[in-house]
Structure 1
Amino acid sequence: MTTEQLQANAIDEHVDAVTHNQLAKHATQVHKFGGSSLATTQCINRVLDIIRQNCQLNDVVVVSANGDTTDNLFALYQLAKEQRDTALEEQDPRPLEQALNALKQQQELLINDLLNANNARQLTHALKADIEQLTTWLSGNLAAHHNDILAYGELWSARLLSALLNEKVCPSNSIDSRDFLVIDNETHYRVDSAKSAAQLRQRKQFGKLAVITGYICRDEQGHTCTLGRNGSDYSATIVASLVRASNVTLWTDVDGIYSADPRIVPNARKLHRLPNGVAKELGRLGNPVLHAKTLLPLINQTTDHHTHLHVASSFDSEVIGTEIGKFGQIAKQELSVTYLNDLLIAQSECFLGEYCAKACETFSPICSNDKQGFMVINQSQQKALSQWLASHDTEVTFKPVGIIATVGHKVAERGDIKARFKRSLKSTKPLHLVNSDNAHSVIAVLTEPCTTELLNNVHHDMTKDARHIGLVVAGLGNIGQRFLELLPAQLNRVYALENTHLVGLLSSSKALINNDGLDVSQAMTLFEQEAQGYDHEQLLSWLSHHPYDELIVVDITPSEEFSLLYEQFFTQGIHVIGANKWAASSPTAHFNHLKKLSAEHNSLWLGNTTVGAGLPINFAIDDLRQSGDEINQIAGIFSGTLSWLFETYDGSTSFSSLMLDALSQGITEPDPREDLSGRDVQRKLLILARKAGFELSLDDIACQNLVPEPLQGLSTQAFLEQAAALDDFFAQKLQEANEQNACIRYVARLQYDDIAEAKLTAKVSLEVLPATDAFANLTPCDNIFLINSRWYQENPLIIRGPGAGRDVTAGGLHSDLVTICQQLANKQNQVKIKGIN
């Protein structure tokens, strides 16, 4: 978004934003950028692009310190402390001076690389003053200024980003969160929301994008405080709560939250949507991206306002991340595995009965059991817990432990999940198996630290069936409705479809899409009641942000326009099952482009019902080619309609009467010329030819149109009124065939006239065939396919059966669906990790 657009937005907003509560009414998005996202010049420029594309002037940006700046400040503090503790005659000031100078140079490099000369001078001057203050504090009362020293990282980061935004993107001002954010202390981090919100309103400048420091704040006495590890994430959700934001995005170095730490578990899968309570439990139990405090401002709101939290990667902003909020049943089925080591199990009589609740309130243990008298705590809590128990005149024993936990919505209440978790730990023999108080986790207490091998094994056992596949059905005519009628039984019967969810229904003009899934047994009723108008841009926007591991679009439309969306589908990694023939028979260049796109983006494209309805002709050709065979001829009767017409036409009634009878039975298209033109058979032959490895275009296939030229340009109604004009031609053809003891059939043929010279001919036409020919005696509406190959020469391979009908076509679509889901079950997405802080 350009500066002019952002300023225009600000002007529009000013019409309504004239009250004192302006910020609370209009700040709708909070974007937080982590240290790794701001570490280098290149990273910061990526952040600028994200802000251009995603932010409005009424939004808020929260920043961490650039890269390792906070770690470097802490190292400075430690150096100064060590120097002070060293005897005067042994002190060497050089390490501290060198570290301070290195930190200064690091900041100057970012300033000079990113800003113009004038702005760089201003920030360098401010940096110089800060370094002088740092030097004073490092040589003075260190303990009094510990947090003030650490605060400089966020201060410099916000100041630099704000200056850069002013220079290149939009008006901006940086805000030191210590000027508005007030907490009670660094133990409980309780926010004074009323005071903090009022002070933030005073500092937020209208028409400027606010850049706020994360991690730091003040207590009620005015002392600088920090919010602990991942404190900038916590700052972002606090700010979101203060301004009643609709969304918070944590831009970090991974593209979401995974079912296990992806650095340790290569097969970890992204959790696209997490309920609030589950995300909080994951953070509490060691997830490397989330921290439990981050979610508190969003979960503990007392109003009806709800903020959704997103985790996304600033290194690849187009990749869909993880959303945390309120969701339906599909999101609640997600499972993950996490672990913590360096813990202690504390055993004491004081943890029995009601006293255990008091201890838990004070120490918030990882888990506890008031019947067996134990709790699991962090090692850092040992001293405080010992002192607390001493005051109760109670003895305690401590023993090192680790934990591994399975986490998901109310998993402690799901017997099947608990049983599976127990089975996955059968070789480990945990000390205890404990349900969390909120029932969102089952925790195994281990006598030894949790190993990489154990984590991977348990993760595999718990999440192997957890991939969620979204299903969108486009085209709700006879076949589409029959596909949906069969779907409930298929989902229950076929194991490969266990985690497949119907999430979208599309007609040519209306759509019903629900991320939480549609009741398959009520699909058409729900569509009729709730579907809304849509356009392709809206559809593509939703599909590009779907919350599933995989998405499959089943195209049962006859629409060429819809088939043109395949390019965008494949670009987004969406899989397609197509009964629609347009894409598979499109011009060669376009078809090859689609095949290339689907391969590049790992999108599966199946279209077995484009030819032969549910007959396995596509499977057979694929199998022959994959087995090393070479096909040299494909022939057959590919149209169920033309099969019925010519199997039934015996001269006892006119051809036009027969055709009108077929129309009334629904055997032909509403305009029978679509069948008689041969175009449908021509496209089917092209599709099979391409499947067999021949590079043809539609123009390479000669097509005999059975509709006389004078009838071709008429309206449908006029054609039907003049259909008798067809009769003489077909009567003559039938008579010629009868004189030869033969029959007439509309046949598709692709074959080599000369294999040695690779001379290929392809045509669809009306042929006179001997009565003994394989194509001569079919059940009306049947299709027949003949294949000659290196393996099938003297005795060709023949596949015959119903080539049309709602049941067989819907069944063929279900066959493709099962095939895709079976392939996706073994698919592994590579996790790209830039480094988790």
Structure 2
Amino acid sequence: MKVIKFGGSSVANAENIKKVVNIINQPQYQSTIVVVSALGGVTDLLISVGTDAANAKEQYKETLLNLEKRHIETVQALLPINNQSACISSVKQSFNELEDICEGVFRLGELSGRTKDRIISFGELLSSKIIYFYIQSTGSKIGWIDSRKAIKTNSNFGFAAVDFAATTESIKAIVAASSNTLFIAPGFIASDSNGFTTTLGRGGSDYTASIYAAAVHAEAVEIWTDVTGMMTADPRWVANARTIPHTSYREAMELSHFGAKVIYPPTIQPAMDQNIPIWIKNTFAPSEAGTLIENKPSEEGEIITGISSINQIALLSLEGSGMVGIPGFSKRLFEALANEQVNVILITQSSSEHSICVAVNTVDVAKAKAAVDNAFEIELMSKKVEPLKVEKELSIIALVGDKMKSHPGIAGRMFSALGRNGINIRAIAQGSSERNISAVVSFNDIKKAVNVLHEAFFETSHKQLNVFICGAGNVGGKLIDQIQQQQAYLLQNLNLQVRVTGIATSKKMLFVDNGNEIDVSHWKDALVNAETMSLQGFVDGIIAKNLRNSVFVDVTANAEVAGVYAQLLSKSIAVVACNKIAASSVYTNYQHLKSLAKEYNVPYLFETNVGAGLPVIGTLNDLIKSGDRINKIQAVLSGTLNFVFNNYDGTKPFAQVVKQAQDEGYTEPDPRLDLGGTDVMRKIMILAREAGNKMEMEDITNNGFLPAACFEGSVADFYIAMEKHEAHFKALYDAAAAKNCKLKFVAQFENGKASVGLQHIPSNSDFYHLYGKDNIVLFYTQRYPEQPMVVKGAGAGADVTASGVFADIMRVTAP
């Protein structure tokens, strides 16, 4: 014999009930006990009926009428007209009885646990009777079992404990006395020794099925629901959650205890005691295999079986020096909570015995606090114990797996993954079986935490990166194009899903909700109807979304944008900056940002601040990390200036060459930042700082070449001034040419001092053969004292700069 159970969603309406009966009519279920829940949502409505009646709210009558109408309509949709009368009569009789009970509650203004159980029992009684009559109308022979007569419990109404000896006896007797081999029974309900109706707790229909299975030594229990088995995580939160094909009883118990609602936790024990396998199946996809729960763990597969969570948790912390070395404190705490029937979900205690904290359901906080305050009244008055600390808005996340015991490092991976994503852990617990590691986190972080851990343990072939781009101009636009071009490649070859989830310009900002991403092939069109840009609004949106592996990409030259890095880093959001302003700001701010990145274990990368797409900063960092020391840096760091002096020979005006450089995208918006040396000063300062030196802009000597008049007025005025001083620029060129030299704007750092300026470069110099917009950096170190480490290549241009930013984004994914 088998026992199969169908949940509320499976019997929500006539259409679904027909699917259920199609399953029951399969040959393998000829000898079966079918357990059913109430029609979907009915139990909650019956609870509200009882509550409203007790509170003298006459709307309970309307709710009852609607419930009666729904059940009769279900009968009419299922049964042929000539078979309806007996079933409808049964339904009406039940609602008449229910109405009488509720009227009594209304008049008394009181709803006892016993009466509440009686009211909500009608849900399963009605659904089981309707399905019983429907199966009979199809010509099948079936018996109806009243679970109140079959299952015996104590009188703990609302969550009654089963008397298994008496229950087994009565179920066996009922089945043996019938000539039927197919039975249907209401789930969730039972009765005490006085015959009063009791219930087995919300979700108790699963438990009912397991109780019947244990009594008749069934070959299997099947729990039919609306999902295809137990999942590695909640599929509403994790898009890539997948079915667990096989798990052990104990793993399933841990998962169900920590929030996996596919199966009610007490269900497993009766089946486990009799070694009866449990299948979780999908009513709406009956051909799917589902999940098998049995007495042995899977021989292959993941170390972690699943990730579960419980929400609406509060943490109660009892602390005090008076607890140290005094036996009995824990006992008194748990006794106080137990006396108030407060369920303790998680326990953790410091090794110093100075504190102990427990996690409970938020709804129990008030009575839990009152109980603890009362139990420790004397210690609180004498200040041996501090007042009970209560933290709400928390959740518990749990990793579950039988194989965790034999695999070291699981806890490390768990906490490392959470830490990298800025998820603070309030408490930790691990069972002695090492089958479960639980952590208490903020409720606001739970969805992110589940996704982070699912990615870490189940999606080793797939990592998601959420990119928020601020600045969609020349470089930003190229970056988005490059991301679009590479998305398929990265997913296929590097198992990396790069999602653009936010774009901001000076006027508009765009987010995509519900776990989607921006269609980067039409991002410009999407921005047209986006909301008005607010920098703080954009930052707040990134923080509020709380997505895993988030990266803020600054592709602007805006000081205000550079000012938000600290907010983002302190929320464990990586920052990739093309913008040089932050790294070249006052040293204390530069150091603060670096410290935040270290403190919150999150990347702050700005490779393109020097050399665009060239690996200048990365090379320098690698030298330092490997134990080398920088003696001297010499560099041509301005692609703009190199372009200008490579193209200026006096045959056309200097101003015209500069304008060409600007038109081709090599200069800053204000070319004077390049030609005046400010941009190069910033770059050499950044390199000096990355080499470990404290340096400010005023510490750098700038041997400029522009006449003072060029710095007055607007950019337009600058071009006019250059035209007026053409003779000056021609003289600079001629002086270098006379020595068979070229003009290069060179930056240098040595012995703690830095300078920038125009130099005559002879033909034997590394700088002489530097063409177009190329940059070159020479690192003279302890290991490279005479022949320097050379980094050379294109140092300006939207494409190469965007590629450098993209490379930094890829570095964020590194462990």
Q: TM-score, normalised by structure 1?
A: 0.50
1:277-316 matches, within 5 Å, as: none
Determine the structure 1 residue equivalent to 2:564: 565
1:202-217 matches, within 5 Å, as: none
Alignment of 1:481 with 2:467, yes or no, is no
1:151-550 matches, within 5 Å, as: 188-191=43-46, 193=48, 220=102, 221=105, 222-225=110-113, 359=184, 362=187, 381-383=209-211, 397=218, 405-409=231-235, 417=242, 434-437=280-283, 442-448=290-296, 453-454=401-402, 456=404, 462-464=458-460, 468-495=464-491, 498-515=496-513, 516-550=515-549
TM-superposed CA distance for 1:561, in Å, is: 0.9
Determine the structure 1 residue equivalent to 2:699: 700
- Is contact 1:511–1:531 with CA below 8 Å preserved after alignment? yes
**Distance (Å, rounded) in 2 between the aligned partners of 1:201 and 1:601:** 55
**Distance (Å, rounded) in 2 between the aligned partners of 1:794 and 1:700:** 27
Determine the structure 2 residue equivalent to 1:790: 782
Question: Aligned letter for 1:740?
Answer: K
- Is contact 1:636–1:786 with CA below 8 Å preserved after alignment? yes
**Distance (Å, rounded) in 2 between the aligned partners of 1:357 and 1:691:** 78
The structure-2 alpha-carbon separation of the partners of 1:467 and 1:421, relative to structure 1 and needing over 3 Å to count, comes to farther
Deviation sequence 1:252-302 (CA, Å, 0-9, x none): xxxxxxxxxxxxxxxxxxxxxxxxxxxxxxxxxxxxxxxxx9xxxxxxxxx
1:660-699 matches, within 5 Å, as: 660-699=659-698
**Distance (Å, rounded) in 1 between the aligned partners of 2:699 and 2:276:** 70
Determine the structure 2 residue equivalent to 1:741: 740
- Is contact 2:503–2:510 with CA below 8 Å preserved after alignment? yes
The structure-2 alpha-carbon separation of the partners of 1:562 and 1:519, relative to structure 1 and needing over 3 Å to count, comes to closer
SS at match of 1:628: coil
The structure-2 alpha-carbon separation of the partners of 1:446 and 1:697, relative to structure 1 and needing over 3 Å to count, comes to same
Determine the structure 1 residue equivalent to 2:372: none
Determine the structure 2 residue equivalent to 1:800: 792
1:114-133 matches, within 5 Å, as: none
Determine the structure 1 residue equivalent to 2:64: none
The structure-2 alpha-carbon separation of the partners of 1:201 and 1:549, relative to structure 1 and needing over 3 Å to count, comes to farther
1:528-677 matches, within 5 Å, as: 528-677=527-676
- Is contact 1:473–1:554 with CA below 8 Å preserved after alignment? yes
Deviation sequence 1:412-433 (CA, Å, 0-9, x none): 999x945x857999x9999686
**Distance (Å, rounded) in 2 between the aligned partners of 1:398 and 1:563:** 66
The structure-2 alpha-carbon separation of the partners of 1:473 and 1:438, relative to structure 1 and needing over 3 Å to count, comes to farther
**Distance (Å, rounded) in 1 between the aligned partners of 2:543 and 2:696:** 32
Question: Aligned letter for 1:775?
Answer: F
Question: Aligned letter for 1:443?
Answer: T
**Distance (Å, rounded) in 2 between the aligned partners of 1:818 and 1:507:** 23
* CA RMSD in angstroms, aligned pairs only: 4.7
TM-superposed CA distance for 1:796, in Å, is: 0.6
TM-superposed CA distance for 1:410, in Å, is: 9.1
SS at match of 1:397: coil
Determine the structure 2 residue equivalent to 1:143: none
TM-superposed CA distance for 1:519, in Å, is: 3.4
- Is contact 2:774–2:793 with CA below 8 Å preserved after alignment? yes
TM-superposed CA distance for 1:522, in Å, is: 3.0
SS at match of 1:794: coil
The structure-2 alpha-carbon separation of the partners of 1:491 and 1:433, relative to structure 1 and needing over 3 Å to count, comes to farther
TM-superposed CA distance for 1:520, in Å, is: 3.3
SS at match of 2:813: helix
SS at match of 1:707: coil
**Distance (Å, rounded) in 2 between the aligned partners of 1:751 and 1:709:** 28
SS at match of 1:612: coil
The structure-2 alpha-carbon separation of the partners of 1:410 and 1:720, relative to structure 1 and needing over 3 Å to count, comes to closer
Match of 1:768 among 760, 771, 774: 760
- Is contact 1:749–1:762 with CA below 8 Å preserved after alignment? yes
Question: Aligned letter for 2:705?
Answer: L
- Is contact 2:558–2:579 with CA below 8 Å preserved after alignment? yes
- Is contact 2:637–2:777 with CA below 8 Å preserved after alignment? yes
SS at match of 1:690: helix
- Is contact 2:464–2:497 with CA below 8 Å preserved after alignment? yes
Question: Aligned letter for 1:507?
Answer: T
**Distance (Å, rounded) in 1 between the aligned partners of 2:674 and 2:733:** 19
Runs (5+) with no aligned partner, structure 1? 1-182, 204-217, 235-292, 294-343, 365-375, 388-394, 753-759, 824-837
Question: Aligned letter for 1:593?
Answer: H
Runs (5+) with no aligned partner, structure 2? 1-37, 59-99, 121-157, 159-167, 190-203, 224-228, 253-274, 299-304, 306-399, 408-434, 436-453
- Is contact 2:566–2:596 with CA below 8 Å preserved after alignment? yes
Question: Aligned letter for 1:690?
Answer: R
The structure-2 alpha-carbon separation of the partners of 1:662 and 1:814, relative to structure 1 and needing over 3 Å to count, comes to closer
**Distance (Å, rounded) in 2 between the aligned partners of 1:382 and 1:736:** 97
TM-superposed CA distance for 1:399, in Å, is: 7.1
TM-superposed CA distance for 1:658, in Å, is: 2.2
The structure-2 alpha-carbon separation of the partners of 1:681 and 1:512, relative to structure 1 and needing over 3 Å to count, comes to same
**Distance (Å, rounded) in 1 between the aligned partners of 2:542 and 2:457:** 31
The structure-2 alpha-carbon separation of the partners of 1:717 and 1:189, relative to structure 1 and needing over 3 Å to count, comes to closer
SS at match of 2:765: coil
The structure-2 alpha-carbon separation of the partners of 1:435 and 1:467, relative to structure 1 and needing over 3 Å to count, comes to farther
The structure-2 alpha-carbon separation of the partners of 1:520 and 1:687, relative to structure 1 and needing over 3 Å to count, comes to farther
Q: How many residues align?
A: 480
Q: TM-score, normalised by structure 2?
A: 0.52
The structure-2 alpha-carbon separation of the partners of 1:430 and 1:613, relative to structure 1 and needing over 3 Å to count, comes to farther
Counting aligned pairs with the same residue, the percent is: 25
**Distance (Å, rounded) in 2 between the aligned partners of 1:635 and 1:431:** 73
- Is contact 2:607–2:613 with CA below 8 Å preserved after alignment? yes
Question: Aligned letter for 1:397?
Answer: A
SS at match of 2:764: coil
The structure-2 alpha-carbon separation of the partners of 1:528 and 1:424, relative to structure 1 and needing over 3 Å to count, comes to farther
The structure-2 alpha-carbon separation of the partners of 1:224 and 1:812, relative to structure 1 and needing over 3 Å to count, comes to same
TM-superposed CA distance for 1:807, in Å, is: 1.7
Determine the structure 1 residue equivalent to 2:721: 722
Q: Greater RCO between the two (CA within 8 Å, min separation 6)? A: 1
Determine the structure 2 residue equivalent to 1:28: none
TM-superposed CA distance for 1:744, in Å, is: 1.2
Deviation sequence 1:491-523 (CA, Å, 0-9, x none): 322255624422100112321012333333334
**Distance (Å, rounded) in 2 between the aligned partners of 1:357 and 1:605:** 66
- Is contact 2:665–2:798 with CA below 8 Å preserved after alignment? no
Question: Aligned letter for 1:530?
Answer: N
**Distance (Å, rounded) in 2 between the aligned partners of 1:571 and 1:542:** 15
- Is contact 2:468–2:542 with CA below 8 Å preserved after alignment? no
Determine the structure 2 residue equivalent to 1:289: none
**Distance (Å, rounded) in 1 between the aligned partners of 2:808 and 2:653:** 40
**Distance (Å, rounded) in 2 between the aligned partners of 1:554 and 1:397:** 60
**Distance (Å, rounded) in 2 between the aligned partners of 1:424 and 1:800:** 59
SS at match of 2:771: coil
**Distance (Å, rounded) in 2 between the aligned partners of 1:581 and 1:683:** 7
